[in-house]
Amino acid sequence: MLYRNLRRHCQSVVNQLSLPRPFSAEALCRQLAEQRNRPLHLMPLPPEAGAIGACGLWLATSTSDFIFVERNTSQPHQEHIVLHEIGHMLLDHNSVQLTEPTGLKEIFSDLDPNMLRRFLARTNYTTRHEQEAEMLASLIRTTADESSPGRPLGVMDKLEAAMGVGIQHAR
């Protein structure tokens, strides 16, 4: 029952989006930056963040959004990370405080904590916010694949899109 409510909630958010065609995470970032009237920058994740278990971060300042992405992973996984962080943004999730003992304050020590509005670390999927962001990322990808012109998607294509990975299989 909880899964159904989570999916329904996230699908309603996706239904409000006008996904770019052809779809890419970068194109969606450009579109969201324009709609939100604030720059959205894709940046490499600092190595120290990976050491504490993060593979993606969304940082919102008073004027811009930044999504930090692990670069030592596959392109489909990087795109999924970006979509996950966009999920946090679209769902207006609360921030993690920089003063928490996560090591993030040290990684971004040159940033003024008073300047930050949001700072989210993607390290696990046990919280409701992480589950929502993960579901939203998967639904964005699946919806984009279903609405793109071309051949119909098979079961394996849908599985790849939902998982954010490329599975080798015969076509």
Number of domains in the chain: 1
169 within domain boundaries: no
Summarize the chain as % helix, strand, coil (round to 5).
50, 15, 40
Whether 69 is covered by a domain: the verdict is yes
Tell if the pTM clears 0.75, that is, is over it.
no
87 inside domain: yes
AA letter at 97:
Q
Give the model confidence (pLDDT) of 126-160 as tens digits.
688 889 999 999 999 999 988 766 545 566 666 66
Residue written as token pair 């324009």: 34
Residue 47 lies in a domain: yes
Distance CA 132, CA 77 (A): 18
**Domain annotation covers residue 171:** no
The C-alpha atoms of residue 65 and residue 56 are separated, in whole angstroms, by 13
pLDDT in tens, 44-84: 988 777 677 778 888 888 888 999 999 889 999 999 999 99
What is the rounded CA–CA span in Å between residue 145 and residue 3? 22
* Residue 168 forms part of a structural domain: no
Q: Specify if 170 maps to a domain.
A: no
Residue 35: domain span = 2-163
